[in-house]
A and B are shown apart, each in its own frame.
Chain A
Amino acid sequence: MATATTYGARAHARAQEGARVEAMPVVPAADWPAPPCEAGHLVWAETVAGGNYTHRVLARGTELRLTDLRGDACAHLLLYVDGRPWERLNVADTVKVQWNAYLGEGVLLLSDQGRVLASVIADTSRRHDALCGTSTLVRNTARYGDGTPQSPSPAGRELFKLAAAKNGLTARDLPPSLSFFQGVEIRDDGSLDFTGSAGPGASVTLRAEQDLTVLIANVPHPADPRPDYVSTPLEVLAWRADPTRPGDPLWDATPEGRRAFLNTAEFLTARGLA
């Protein structure tokens, strides 16, 4: 097609509509071929390429399912209360308050304000990590030769900086992150044992307990010992559902969690949001 003229260039660009590749958002999400819920309830359907990132704002009550399609995805995750980014994921409080270093079904992702941001409502992987954070430009340059976002081996922190910037945030707004699908276990002497992934098809489902800004970087775990940068696609699906309410088994699962849900409910009620 002739692109030497404005008319030709316009026609050439417009002819691309409808192209499909593996890693892309499907818009509207309702067009996703095999929805895990009523089709009209899907609000986010995307396949995130290895070495790439995404971000979205989700309403309270939305369920977010992440799936490791081929066994080498690693979903590095940060959460903020949408519009109040000074309330954000606090990994230290998450593990300390719940008396456990590991992530899995039933774990609450806590903010630094004594409230729940999201709860883990399903998990078929059980290979996650709350201790090692994500990768950096310095480390990826040393390990893979480059860590810049446009390189073949982008660092998670560099991608988080971009995702943060698109939500009005800067590097100062990036606390330690969680990672899903690539695990670490702690030995008696405190040393780390990298467990790798559970294999293709594992998924984890989170439920938003407040309106959330979600940042996701899909990059290799920093403790992955393989010399090559191995990162495969991550499927992200989200759909309208209901937040955790009193009477839900998760609400009363632990005394610490119950108080976190009570604090959250009190806060949202005072704001007219619940």
Chain B
Amino acid sequence: MSVRTVIPARSAWSAVVPEGASLTITDLHGNQAVDFLVYDAHDTSVRYSAPDTIQAQGGIFLTTGSVLLSDEHTPLMTVTADAVGRHDTVGGACSKESNTLRYGHHTYAQHACVDNFLAEGAKHGLGKRDLVSNINWYMNVPVEKDGTLGIVDGLSAPGLALTLRAERDVLVLVSNCPQINNPCNGFEPTAVEMTIGDAG
């Protein structure tokens, strides 16, 4: 038994994934960044921590075997399969405000991930202070020797997927990234598919 949902381009989505169940994210058209936050479903003050995840696995890229840790250093989800091989957890979400710094004030009217997170999170009682550095599935953010870091062309392709296992009951918040000013979406946001599967 599984539940499939297609998230249209630029949209937000959320769901509770029960402990032991799987969540598969499919990049339907390729090169689409999926901004992702995860919380303990019963205590949303316990939430995804990019720094704890990075320090525990000793590296910045996420792939099969990566355990997504909370800011209390407890496991929330584990990546059990990944057809892409590298995902980002350093770059965070786009916002109308950060867009003015990255590209210019002409981008201020564009929709952005933080707005998606705020609108979708509000359905679960989450507010701005609950937003922290997030995961960007399918986004490619290398770091050069001198520290230069940037979003570059993605490694994904149409139909590639990754699967997560919930290590406890978790609330997942997704912004299907609306960014059109950098290569994270190939400059054209597209739909992605979320599938929640049974425990097993």
* Chain A residues in the interface with B (C-beta under 8 A): 85-86, 90-93, 95-97, 99-102, 110, 112-115, 131-134, 136-139, 157, 170-177, 186, 188-192, 222-223, 256, 259-260, 263
Partner of B148, one of A100, A113, A172, A223: A100
A172 near B129: Cβ-Cβ < 8 Å:
yes
With A171-B45, A186-B60, A190-B61 already in contact, the answer to whether A263 and B147 are too (CB < 8 A) is no
A175 near B133: Cβ-Cβ < 8 Å:
yes
Query: In the bound complex, how far is the Cα of B56 from the Cα of A138, in angstroms?
Result: 12
Supplied contacts A101-B90, A138-B74, 9 more A-B pairs, CB within 8 Å = A92-B93, A93-B92, A112-B128, A113-B97, A114-B95, A137-B73, A157-B71, A191-B59, A259-B104
Query: In the bound complex, how far is the Cα of B151 from the Cα of A221, in angstroms?
Result: 27
With A97-B102, A114-B95 already in contact, the answer to whether A136 and B58 are too (CB < 8 A) is no
B58 near A191: Cβ-Cβ < 8 Å:
yes
B132 near A176: Cβ-Cβ < 8 Å:
yes
A132 near B54: Cβ-Cβ < 8 Å:
yes
Selected A-B contacts with CB under 8 Å, 22 pairs: A86-B129, A90-B92, A92-B133, A97-B98, A132-B54, A133-B52, A133-B71, A136-B52, A138-B73, A172-B45, A173-B129, A175-B133, A176-B49, A176-B50, A176-B132, A188-B145, A189-B61, A192-B55, A223-B55, A259-B100, A260-B101, A263-B97
Partner of B55, one of A96, A115, A133, A256: A133
Q: Is B91's CB within 8 Å of the partner chain A?
A: yes
- Within B23-44, which residues are at the interface with A (CB < 8 Å)? none
Q: What is the chain A residue whose CB lies nearest that of B86?
A: A190
- Within B60-102, which residues are at the interface with A (CB < 8 Å)? 60-61, 71-74, 86, 90-93, 95-102
Q: What is the chain A residue whose CB lies nearest that of B132?
A: A175
In the complex, what residues of A have CB within 8 A of residue B8's CB?
A: none
B55 near A222: Cβ-Cβ < 8 Å:
yes
In the complex, what residues of B have CB within 8 A of residue A112's CB?
A: 95, 97-98, 114, 128, 131
With A100-B148, A131-B90, A138-B73 already in contact, the answer to whether A114 and B101 are too (CB < 8 A) is yes
A131 near B54: Cβ-Cβ < 8 Å:
yes
B71 near A174: Cβ-Cβ < 8 Å:
yes
With A134-B51, A174-B71 already in contact, the answer to whether A97 and B58 are too (CB < 8 A) is no
B102 near A256: Cβ-Cβ < 8 Å:
yes
Query: In the bound complex, how far is the Cα of B133 from the Cα of A244, in angstroms?
Result: 27
Query: In the bound complex, how far is the Cα of B101 from the Cα of A139, in angstroms?
Result: 36
Instruction: Please give the distance in Å from B146's CB to the nearest CB on chain A.
Output: 8
Query: In the bound complex, how far is the Cα of B142 from the Cα of A189, in angstroms?
Result: 9
In the complex, what residues of A have CB within 8 A of residue B99's CB?
A: 114
Q: What is the chain B residue whose CB lies nearest that of A96?
A: B91
Q: Is B150's CB within 8 Å of the partner chain A?
A: yes
Instruction: Please give the distance in Å from B94's CB to the nearest CB on chain A.
Output: 9
Query: In the bound complex, how far is the Cα of B96 from the Cα of A163, in angstroms?
Result: 30
A186 near B72: Cβ-Cβ < 8 Å:
no
In the complex, what residues of B have CB within 8 A of residue A170's CB?
A: 45
Pick the 7 closest A-B CB pairs, nearest first: A92-B92, A133-B51, A114-B97, A102-B147, A136-B73, A138-B73, A190-B61
Q: Is B6's CB within 8 Å of the partner chain A?
A: no
Query: In the bound complex, how far is the Cα of B148 from the Cα of A139, in angstroms?
Result: 30
